[in-house]
């Protein structure tokens, strides 16, 4: 584990504390592996904590779509 990576991860969390919803919190990589883990970082789509792309992905639920289809039929 290098000091440079530790500092960069720490500043990510500090930014999140100050303004948790300013950048997309969609995680990339393995949270247990600080070498690869990072957040998306795109501007968020208020009031969500994800960008437009990831809000859509987070709330799209295959089961829900199936329910909607059944209700319409």
22 makes contact with Zn ion (CB under 5 A): no
Which tokens in the block code for residue 59? 């709330």
Q: Are 20 and 48 in contact (CB under 8 A)?
A: no
9, 12, 16, 40: residue in contact with Zn ion (rule CB under 5 A): 40
For residue 42, state whether it binds Zn ion (rule: CB under 5 A). Answer: yes
Regarding 34 and contact with Zn ion (CB under 5 A), the answer is no
What is the closest distance, in whole angstroms, from the C-beta atom of residue 71 to Zn ion in the complex? 30
Residues 18 and 2: their CA atoms lie apart, in Å, by 25
Q: Following CA atoms 53, 18, 10, 47 in sequence, which dihedral angle do they give, to the nearest 10 degrees?
A: -20
Q: Is 55 in the site for Zn ion (CB under 5 A)?
A: no
Interface contacts to Zn ion, rule CB under 5 A: 24, 26, 40, 42, 51, 54
């Amino acid at each position: 584990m290098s000091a440079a990576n530790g500092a960069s991860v720490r500043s990510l969390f500090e930014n999140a504390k100050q303004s948790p919803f300013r950048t997309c919190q969609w995680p990339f990589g393995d949270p247990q592996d600080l070498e690869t883990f990072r957040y998306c970082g795109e501007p968020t789509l208020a009031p969500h904590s994800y960008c437009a792309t990831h809000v859509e992905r987070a709330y799209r639920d295959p089961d829900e779509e199936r329910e909607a289809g059944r209700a319409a039929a």
